[in-house]
Structure 1
Amino acid sequence: MKKQPQVRERTREKMFDAFFKEYKENTLRGVTVGAVSRRANVNRSTFYEYFTDIYDLIDQAEDSLLTEMLSRIMQLQKEGFNEQRQQLMVYGEEIINEYGERLAILLGHGDTGFSQKMIAAMQPVTTEIFQIDITDPKAELLISFILSGITGYITVWYNNGKPVAIHDMVAALQSIMAYSVSILKNQ
């Protein structure tokens, strides 16, 4: 008998949560199917109904995280804003509040594959928000710089115990991004 889609999604999310808790405490090699299954309170066989191994789980967790983030950004875009600054503050604060810990865990372990996935996924949104001409040869470098800076900032911020309020962190990031874009547009 097949499980209902809602039950499958809840079970999958429980395993994602368990994985992130394990990954926060261990290296990827230290995260085991048994540990994730125990923490998620599911059988090992249930784990294998969803994932082939830990590497498949992390790949699906990364894809799910990026899909959720982009979906949330699109939802925020539909709400509309009076100005770009207001839009960026809302995006930044909402994304950090909702996904900051998972982002920091993935990025903090030095997963360059995830960093590249995130940059690729966020590039169209960044291009649109900052109205960057993607045909400009410097545009790709600038977008990569902005997104790499954001990911580094989030990782250090989270790993240092969130020493700055989210609003202040997002405001600092916004200033850095705006300054970087202004340099590109003025060259």
Structure 2
Amino acid sequence: MAKASAAPHRTNKSEQTRERIIESYLTLIREKKWDKISVIEICRQSDITRGTFYQYFSDIYDMMEQIETSLLTELSNRFASSRRQSQLPVSTETFFTNFNPAPPEIFLTWFEFCRNHKQAMMALLDRKNGDTYFVKRLKPLISSYIQDMMDRDGVPRDELRSHFVDIFIELHFLSAQTWLDSDDSMEIMDIDDIVNLLNVMRVGALYMSLKHREDPERFDEVMHTHPRDHKEA
């Protein structure tokens, strides 16, 4: 019986060591560019030997790949689950009767994921020391769910939509970075506040899309009118 219980104990201890190494590395990224951190620095930070490090990772790049792949896989699964719970697609003809203006569940999915992996996301999204390649790998995931959301909202795949998607992706990163970097004791907004902010942009984009479809010429005329032209003489 003693031998049977020993294996799980070693497995658990091994996993704890691996997590400690990763946490040490992520902590160092907040102070130094991710690919400039040495194995020696990580070992010193996590209080392990180089031999122990190499039991888990072949080098810095292998460790970063393992961290990022794990995060991206989990986020992809979360997005897939949220999509299955989303509303049915809305057509232009039934928009005003069927459209749900409440924030979609998938908005919450992104910020809950960032909160659950706060240390990793803060480090990897760090504008100075984070991994830009991780951001490039994240963008298709976020773009895919935004496109799916807009399909369900009944937004046509036109030029306006492509601009919206690009801006919305950047807002996801910016809002997550600002929120994660804020002091927990001085938190500016909670998840619901940020989700509602993003939803305002979503609803605004839908309104503009409908106006454009109703009267394209009038829409273009209004949108290209300078604000000063609206002032009374």
Task: Name segments (4+ residues, structure 1) moved above 6 Å.
Answer: none
Tell me if the contact between 1:142 and 1:184 (Cα under 8 Å) persists in the aligned partners. no
Letter aligned with residue 142 of structure 1: F
TM-score (normalised: structure 2): 0.62
**Hey, what does 2:199 align to over in structure 1?**
174
Aligned residue runs from structure 1 range 107-146, under 5 A: 107-110=125-128, 111-131=131-151, 136=158, 139-146=161-168
Report the Cα distance in structure 2 between the residues aligned to 1:50 and 1:181, rounded to whole angstroms: 48
**Hey, what does 1:90 align to over in structure 2?**
108
- The structural deviation recorded for 1:174 is 2.5
- The structural deviation recorded for 1:21 is 1.6
Report the Cα distance in structure 1 between the residues aligned to 2:119 and 2:209, rounded to whole angstroms: 31
Give me the identity figure in percent: 20
- Where 2:117 maps in the other structure, the secondary structure is helix
The one-character-per-residue Cα deviations of 1:140-163 (angstroms, maximum 9, x if unpaired) are 443232111110121123234342
| Matching of residue 72 in structure 1 with residue 78 in structure 2 | yes
Segments of 5+ residues of structure 2 without an aligned counterpart are 1-6, 88-99, 213-233
The one-character-per-residue Cα deviations of 1:31-64 (angstroms, maximum 9, x if unpaired) are 3212323444443223224333223322332222
**Hey, what does 1:20 align to over in structure 2?**
26
The one-character-per-residue Cα deviations of 1:130-184 (angstroms, maximum 9, x if unpaired) are 3277964554443232111110121123234342222212221232244335545
Tell me the number of residue pairs that the alignment of Structure 1 and Structure 2 aligns.
184
Report the Cα distance in structure 2 between the residues aligned to 1:181 and 1:40, rounded to whole angstroms: 50
Q: Which has the larger radius of gyration?
A: 2
Tell me if the contact between 1:92 and 1:170 (Cα under 8 Å) persists in the aligned partners. no
Segments of 5+ residues of structure 1 without an aligned counterpart are none
TM-score (normalised: structure 1): 0.74
- Where 1:108 maps in the other structure, the secondary structure is coil
Among candidates 170, 175, 195, match of residue 148 of structure 1: 170
